[in-house]
Structure 1
Amino acid sequence: MMGYLYLGLAVVGEIAGTSFLKYSNGFSHLWPSVGVVVGYVMCFYFLSLAFRSINLSIAYAMWSGVGTVVITLISVFILRESINLASVIGITLILLGSIILNLFGSAH
């Protein structure tokens, strides 16, 4: 159970780091750049802890899948970036793949 808590914290770190990356402007703005580093250090630290109890393939698929979906939602609804139907379908397939791996992956 702690593995999934760590995985959730890793996702939060990845989302924070990626969001700050948008605002760092090529690491030319100090505080967003610090946010990138802090977010990704947090992300990879907690991801490494999650690997203690969750298989690498499942944890990585969930981490990347959930992170991709949330970052897409942030980019569309907060940053007002456009998205097309092909992107929506692709991201839906990523999310479904993560769910299927979690439900039926080799750890179960």
Structure 2
Amino acid sequence: MKASGGIGWLFLALAIVLELSGTISMKMSEGFTKLWPSLLMFLFYGASFTFLNFALNYMDMSIAYAIWSGVGIVLISLVGVKLFNEQLPLTSMMWIVVIVIGVIGLNISSKVHQ
């Protein structure tokens, strides 16, 4: 694993927040029929990938991407329920838990093999 520091985790956290913002903007763009949410979606996703790229200088790609996508799935699921009144059936919540367990397991196993 690369020398990880707090800056890598900061870049990763920013990438996650920006990915979440991009996905919310995508929903709000209503299929590219609304200009500002559509433009913000591209801006947020571009910035998210940029910060994810910066994070890769400090941590392994497998860990950074798993955390980025896993945390993003959990957060956007919660936002969908709270902000957009979407339904999240129990089975969906169970699969999200499986994803979280997988991300944690990947992170633990990478530390064991160092």
Q: How many residues align?
A: 108
Kindly state the Cα deviation for residue 26 of structure 1 after the two structures are TM-superposed: 1.4
Gaps of 5+ in 2: 1-5
Q: Is 2:30 the partner of 1:25?
A: yes
Displacement of 1:3 in angstroms is: 0.7
RMSD after superposition = 1.3
- The answer to whether the aligner puts 1:86 opposite 2:88 as a matched pair is no
* Structure 1 residue identity aligned to 2:23: T
In structure 1, C-alpha distance between the alignment counterparts of 2:79 and 2:106, rounded to whole Å: 25
Q: Which residue of 1 aligns with 2:13?
A: 8
Q: Give the corresponding residue for 2:3.
A: none
- Alignment-derived partner of residue 46 in structure 2: 41
Gaps spanning 5+ residues in structure 1: where?
none
1:53 aligned onto 2:51:
no
Moved over 2 A (4+): none
1:104 aligns with 2:109: yes
TM-score w.r.t. length of structure 1: 0.93
Residues 19-28 or 9-18, more deviating = 19-28
2:84 is paired with a residue whose SS is coil
Q: Distance in 2 between the 1:75 and 1:95 partners?
A: 18
Percent identity (aligned):
42
